């Protein structure tokens, strides 16, 4: 607990490093609900194991947005989904996969 005995705002800065370890999740074939502990683009930054025909559905103010992965083009259509920490999304995978992400250093 921190106490600021003055009437002025107090800024506290914390630095450090997250424990280096892999975060591993098995993603089954078929429909499942997934979530990420870290923020980023689902495949290029978070390492989601996308394969041809996989679908991801995110929910926002306008409803659901559907994304499909094209393995030949190595890209998501209409764009690569950006996932926030703790944001749930629906995933439909053609084949099961193992989603491995390494924790990163704090700034």
Render pLDDT for 49-65 as a digit per residue (tens, 0 to 9).
Answer: 999 999 999 998 889 99
Q: Which residues contact 12 (CB under 8 A, 6 or more apart)?
A: 2
Preceding omega of 78 cis (within 30 degrees of 0): yes
29: left (phi over 0), alpha (psi -120 to 50) or beta: beta
Distance CA(103)–CA(101), nearest Å, equals: 7
pTM, to two decimals? 0.72
Q: What is the mean pLDDT of residues 56-79?
A: 93
- Asked whether the predicted pLDDT for residue 107 surpasses 80, the reply is no
Tell me: the pLDDT tens digits for 79-106?
999 999 889 999 999 999 999 876 654 4
**Which DSSP letter does residue 79 get?**
S
Give the chain's length: 107
Question: What pLDDT does 105 receive?
Answer: 47
């Amino acid at each position: 607990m921190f106490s600021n005995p003055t009437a002025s705002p107090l800024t506290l800065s914390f630095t450090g490093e997250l424990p280096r370890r892999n975060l591993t999740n098995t993603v089954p074939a078929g429909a499942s609900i997934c979530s990420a502990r870290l923020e980023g683009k689902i495949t290029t930054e978070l390492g989601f194991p996308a394969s041809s025909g996989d679908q991801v559905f995110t929910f926002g103010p306008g409803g659901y947005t559907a994304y499909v992965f094209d393995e030949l083009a190595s890209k998501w259509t209409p764009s690569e989904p950006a996932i926030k920490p703790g944001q749930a999304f629906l995933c439909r995978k053609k084949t099961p996969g193992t989603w491995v992400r390494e924790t990163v250093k704090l700034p």
